[in-house]
Amino acid sequence: MPAPTSKLNPLITNLKPHSRVSESYRILRTNIQYSAVDSPLKTILVSSSQPGEGKSTTVSNLAVAYAQEEKRILLVDADLRKPTLHQIFSVSNRSGLTNVLANEHSLEDAVHSTEIPNLHLLTSGTHTPNPAEMLGSKRMNQLLDKVVQEYDLVLVDSPPIMAVTDAQILSTLCDGVVLVLNYGKVKRDVAKKALEHLAHVNAKVLGVVINNRTYTGKDSGYYYHYGS
């Protein structure tokens, strides 16, 4: 990412759509699309190797970039341990993913409309003592099967890969994974281990977002495609 996004206004793709950072998100969107021309992606997991690397900001702005393309987008906060998307979009988290999986609320009642046209949000929901079990449940798989029929694309935010097993579980349910790494902060061996964790469950890694990288003008990209 050429520059860090403001913590006070994280949705820069909505606030400043013509900025260099917003253009970078559109480049990321395009690169993802071209990474799966023969097999269009319906579900994309966005994670990081460790906390504080900007995955939630990245997935939120990427969702806005897709919605600006007039695609019907569902953003799912599957970080059941430290959710943030309800704060980014300023919506209630009283009903969300955990409540739908526990059959306490219907999906239709739990999904929020956002101020961004075409973008809908399923927050994490109320706290659960068994997040990994919930995410790996048959009902979670059925939920994803349902929403891909209703939306053009589903973007999923997850906990960091090295922290818990949740991201690995979710990666097996999604068509591809985008890994967010904080330039200058994450250690090379930690990033390598995160990729090894994904490879262990045969996750399809679409590429890596290098976050907070200083823009030099010599390169316009920050997204590195690993191949199909």
pLDDT in tens, 82-100: 999 999 999 999 999 999 9
Decide: 135 and 166 in contact? Cβ < 8 Å: yes
* pLDDT at position 34 over 90: no
Q: What is the pLDDT of residue 10?
A: 86
Please, which residues have CB within 8 angstroms of residue 37's CB and are 6 or more apart in sequence? none
Average model confidence (pLDDT) across the chain: 89
pLDDT above 70 covers what percent of the chain? 89
pLDDT of residue 9: 64
Q: CA-CA distance, 75 to 15, in Å (whole number)?
A: 18
User: Which pLDDT score, from 0 to 100, does residue 225 have?
Assistant: 45
Percentage of the chain lying above the pLDDT 90 cut: 79
Rounded mean pLDDT, 35-61:
91
More confident call, 215 vs 116: 116
Instruction: Using alpha carbons, list the distances in angstroms from residue 188 to 99, 191, 193, 197.
Output: 38, 5, 9, 14
Indicate whether 17 pLDDT > 80: yes
CA distance 180 to 47: 6
pLDDT category at 193 given cuts 50, 70, 90 is very high
Taking residues 205-227, report their average pLDDT.
62
Q: Write down the pLDDT at residue 214.
A: 59
Mean pLDDT lowest among 56-60, 171-175, 176-180, 185-189:
185-189
- What pLDDT, on a 0 to 100 scale, did the predictor assign at position 183? 84
